[in-house]
Amino acid sequence: MIYLVIGLLVAGTHGYLVAWNIPGNVLEGLAAIILWPLVAFFAVDLHALIA
């Protein structure tokens, strides 16, 4: 549960939780929540990987 809460915080601060009406953004948001250590610690840009 804590893992997902941290994932939500990281995804929100890195701009992955905006415009959820576009399917690609939903995928990016969910990926950012699940893969938050990559986003937070290794600066992986999921916008470039998924888009």
- 9-50 pLDDT per residue, tens: 999 998 888 887 888 788 888 988 999 999 889 988 887 877
User: Per-domain residue ranges for the chain?
Assistant: 2-50
DSSP symbol at 45: -
Per-residue pLDDT, 26: 85
Is residue 9 exposed (0-12), middle (13-18) or buried (19+ Cβ within 10 Å)? Answer: middle
CB 32 within 8 A of CB 39: yes
Write out the two tokens for 32: 């950012």
